[in-house]
């Protein structure tokens, strides 16, 4: 029996579909807003049940789109989603409860609180590289916060979209959660609607366009973007650990990961040793020969011909500019294969060091000092993630203090993304806002400040007009007493 994931992709949404869905969700948003915490939990539990029921369908679909191993789908797509949903279910009471705030002594008799209310109708524009996690991950925060949601996955993952469409259609009414498919014309049509919040994951170039469109409706945005995420390895690092974690974080999904290490800065005395260990690790992961790596069932392919052309172009330009292929470098256009590749002798001004690679090319740059490493990082826009490998706390503290990144892992790979209690996002060029866990809940919530007067209303009358001499003296005394030295 042919799985649903290999059925023809869903038809692109029409302009009428877009307007109909938005109008229905806008009308239904007040009812969703009023839903109890138990109703919100039920929506999240249904999502978990649906994901488990469609697990093999998603494995088949993502393999058809990427040739990704089923175990990698479980590890990088299914498990983070289930963990995040369960985390939200467990903490939703606390997140929805008002937060009490302190107040100055002059406010005696009042209580200050923050209430978290849904923004209303949210739009989630998802990328292609992790089509399950990056579509449904933000949905968890949006549902927890009590919103109606429209999802628009990338058109580049048609097989996955078939399963996503069925999953969402089976679980939710369209007026609460809808999934619309299509290319950039559909995304543009959606952005023309006055959504209350737009959550976009993708490139900085497209993120700027999304932000401009959202500004037309004064919609708030969360932008999860990209950038060149560095790894820094000093001479005290455990090189076996560093090589394993860097190779794993880089070559999972054939490098098509926004938080993958984009280049490595390594102390010159251990440069060759690190390269050797990286080669050993890649051979252990994917095979000892070029032929076995090409045939490995554990290594994904690039998403489409255009992206393959782009990555191969970066490789060819780097070599033309003087870089050395220390390992890998094999390509095949027919299967969209680019082997795990290590580049050395890479000029800092070549394109592979100036733009996010988003593929399985790993430049290794020797450095003579930590100052040089910090300078190279700071010469580029703020990265989404950073990876530090060292046994020296002073080195870690120096880098943390002199650079900016969305997140940083110390002696570890890209595990941080899978922790639902860690906010995830970028800094400037690499993103605006945060997702995951409570941060995701708050991204889709309006923080409403509330002040309650419980007693002591007469205290305020002493400072209301008309401002008599007595009142002015009283105000002067208040300023002296409450304003400090």
Inter-axis angle of helices 15-33 and 184-191, nearest 10 = 50
> Which tokens go with 1?
């029996």
Q: Which helix (H) or strand (E) holds 242?
A: helix 239-251
| 360-388: b (≥16 Cβ within 10 Å) or e | bbbbbbbbeebeebbebbeebbbbbbbbb
CA distance 205 to 236: 38
- Residue that has been written with the tokens 């490995």 in this structure: 296
Within 10 angstroms of residue 475's Cβ, the number of other Cβ atoms is: 13
- SS3 assignment, position 29: helix
- Residue that has been written with the tokens 């869903």 in this structure: 10
CA distance 416 to 382: 18
CA distance 441 to 88: 8
Catalytic residue among 77, 176, 224, 244: 224
Q: Does the active-site annotation cover 409?
A: no
Which pairing describes strands 110-118 and 99-101: parallel, antiparallel, or unpaired? antiparallel
Within 10 angstroms of residue 111's Cβ, the number of other Cβ atoms is: 14
In this structure, are residues 166 and 193 in contact, taking their beta carbons and an 8 Å threshold? no
Residues in the chain: 485
Catalytic residue among 77, 174, 244, 258: 258
In this structure, are residues 315 and 284 in contact, taking their beta carbons and an 8 Å threshold? no
CA distance 118 to 148: 9
CA distance 52 to 86: 13
CA distance 93 to 63: 38
Q: Who contacts 330 (Cβ-Cβ below 8 Å, separation ≥6)?
A: 290, 293, 294, 337, 338, 339
DSSP category for residue 36: -
Q: Who contacts 184 (Cβ-Cβ below 8 Å, separation ≥6)?
A: none
Within 10 angstroms of residue 412's Cβ, the number of other Cβ atoms is: 14
CA distance 309 to 66: 16
Considering only CA atoms, give the Rg of the chain: 26
Q: Which residues does the annotation mark as catalytic?
A: 224, 258
């Amino acid at each position: 029996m042919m799985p649903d994931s290999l059925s023809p992709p869903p038809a692109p949404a029409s302009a009428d579909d877009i307007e109909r869905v938005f109008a229905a969700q806008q009308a239904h948003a007040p009812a969703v807003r009023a839903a109890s915490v138990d109703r919100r939990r039920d929506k999240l539990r249904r999502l978990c049940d649906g994901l488990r029921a469609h697990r093999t369908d998603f494995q088949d679909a993502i393999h058809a789109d990427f040739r990704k191993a089923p175990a990698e789908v479980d590890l990088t797509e299914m498990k983070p989603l289930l963990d995040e949903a369960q985390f939200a279910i467990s903490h939703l009471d606390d997140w929805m409860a008002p937060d009490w705030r302190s107040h100055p002594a002059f406010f005696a008799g009042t209580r200050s609180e923050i209430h978290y209310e849904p923004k209303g109708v949210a739009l989630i524009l998802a990328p292609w590289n992790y089509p399950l996690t990056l579509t449904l991950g933000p949905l968890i925060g949006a549902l927890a916060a009590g919103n109606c949601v429209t999802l628009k996955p990338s058109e580049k993952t048609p097989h996955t979209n078939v399963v996503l469409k069925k999953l969402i259609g089976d679980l939710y009414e369209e007026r609460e959660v809808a999934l619309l498919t299509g290319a950039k014309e559909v995304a543009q049509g959606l952005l023309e609607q006055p959504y209350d919040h737009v959550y976009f994951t993708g490139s900085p170039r497209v993120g700027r366009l999304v932000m401009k469109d959202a500004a037309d409706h004064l919609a708030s945005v969360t932008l999860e973007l990209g950038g060149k995420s560095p790894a820094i390895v000093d001479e005290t690092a455990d090189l076996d650990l560093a090589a394993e974690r860097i190779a794993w974080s880089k070559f999972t999904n054939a490098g098509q990961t926004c938080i993958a290490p984009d280049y490595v800065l390594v102390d010159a005395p251990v440069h060759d040793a690190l390269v050797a260990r990286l080669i050993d690790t890649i051979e252990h992961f994917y095979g000892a020969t070029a032929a076995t790596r090409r045939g490995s069932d554990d290594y994904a392919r690039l998403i489409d011909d255009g992206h393959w052309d782009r990555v191969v172009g970066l490789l060819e330009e780097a070599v033309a500019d003087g870089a050395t292929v220390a390992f890998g470098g094999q390509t095949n256009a027919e299967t969209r294969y680019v082997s795990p590749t290590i580049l050395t002798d890479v000029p800092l001004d070549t394109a592979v060091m100036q733009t996010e690679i988003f593929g399985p090319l790993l430049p290794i740059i020797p450095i003579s000092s930590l100052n040089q490493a910090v300078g190279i990082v700071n010469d580029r826009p703020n990265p989404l993630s950073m990876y530090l490998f060292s046994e020296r706390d002073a080195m870690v503290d120096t880098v943390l203090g002199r650079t900016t990144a969305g997140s940083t892992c110390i002696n570890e790979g890209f595990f941080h993304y899978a922790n639902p209690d860690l906010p995830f996002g970028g800094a400037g060029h690499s993103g605006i806002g945060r997702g995951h866990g409570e941060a995701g809940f708050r991204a889709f919530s309006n923080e409403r400040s509330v002040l309650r007067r419980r007693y002591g209303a007469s205290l305020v009358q002493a400072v209301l007009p008309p401002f008599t001499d007595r009142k002015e003296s009283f105000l002067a005394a208040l300023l002296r007493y409450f304003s400090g030295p």
